[in-house]
Amino acid sequence: MVRINSKGKGYDMKKKFIFILLIIISLNFSKISFAANDENIYDKIDLFGEVLDKINKEYVEEINQSDAMDAAINGVLQSLDPYSAYMSPETLKEMETETSGKFGGLGIEVGMEFGVVKVITPMDGSPAEKEGVKAGDYIVKINGIQVQGKTLSEAVELMRGPVGSTLEITIRRKGVKKALVFEITREIIEVKSVKSKIIDDSVGYIRLTAFNENSSNQIKNKIKKFKKNKINKYILDLRNNPGGLLSQAVKISDFFLNNGEIVSTKSRKSSENRKYFAKKGDIIDGETLVVLINYGSASASEIVAGALKDHKRAIVIGNNSYGKGSVQSIITLKNKGAIRLTISKYYLPSGKSISGTGIIPDIEIVESSDEFRIGTETDNQLDFAITLLNG
Residues with a catalytic annotation lie at 299, 310, 324
Vertex 68 angle, CA 64 and 72, to 5° = 175
One-letter amino acid at 311 equals: H
121: nearest Cα among 245, 241, 299: 241
Contacts of 42 (CB under 8 A, 6+ apart): none
Outline where DSSP puts E strands in 176-258.
180-185, 187-190, 194-199, 203-208, 233-237, 244-245
Helix (H, G, I), strand (E, B) or coil at 277: strand
304: nearest Cα among 295, 296, 316: 316
Number of Cβ within a 10 Å radius of residue 29? 15
What's the residue count for the chain?
Answer: 391
Do the beta carbons of residue 249 and residue 306 sit within 8 Å? Answer: no
Vertex 156 angle, CA 151 and 162, to 5° = 150
Q: How buried is residue 125: exposed, middle or buried, by Cβ count under 10 Å (0-12/13-18/19+)?
A: middle
Per DSSP, the residues of 106-172 read --EEEEEETTEEEEEEEPTT-HHHHHT--TT-EEEEETTEE-TTS-HHHHHHHH---TT-EEEEEEE
| 375 alpha carbon, distance to own chain's centre | 22
Strand partners, 206: 196, 236
Do the beta carbons of residue 9 and residue 334 sit within 8 Å? Answer: yes
Do the beta carbons of residue 157 and residue 187 sit within 8 Å? Answer: no
Do the beta carbons of residue 170 and residue 205 sit within 8 Å? Answer: no
Contacts of 60 (CB under 8 A, 6+ apart): none
